[in-house]
Amino acid sequence: MKLIETGIQDLFVIEPDVFSDERGYFFESFSLTKFLKHHLNYNFVQDNEAKSVFGVIRGLHYQTNEKAQSKLVRVIQGSVKDVVVDIRPHSSTYGKIFSIELTETNKLQLLIPKGFAHGYSVLSDTSIFSYKCDEFYSKENEGGIYLLDPQLNIDWEVPIDKAIMSEKDKLWPHFGLHKM
């Protein structure tokens, strides 16, 4: 497993060791031993999976207080543009955006620490997106940022007339107005 720095503290791209032959491929999508070797001590308690079609944009979501979540995200099928925004109030990279294309082919993963808003857009016909969380979902601690916020100016790589967003995601406050 290769740990790739992103320029934002505690946010890492993970490149797993993939073994391929005529039968297909094999890789460890998560290994506590390998995480601990890199001083990454997470206690993941829940796995989630979402299937979506081209144009779906989900986000930008986060959990607050004692229910804040770290996530390990990856794509099982298809391709997504994965986006995070550092919303840690005292971080030197507060407001900084990081994005990466995660695909079934590159098998890259993104390790997202607590204190980040997270979202993704589906770039392929369909995608299956998988993520581990180190805390259970809590509706009372749910937060979000409007995903088309002009201050953030995120290029989701989906034409706006083809974008499929939940009504809830359209109603989140703008970046400067969210409450962490």
Active site residues: 61, 131
Sequence-ordered alpha helix ranges (H) in the chain: 32-37, 167-170
Distance CA 173, CA 153 (A): 14
> HSE-up of 102 (CA within 13 Å, CB side)?
31
Distance CA 172, CA 168 (A): 7
Here the tokens at position 94 are 């507060």
> HSE-up of 100 (CA within 13 Å, CB side)?
24
Radius of gyration of the chain (CA): 16
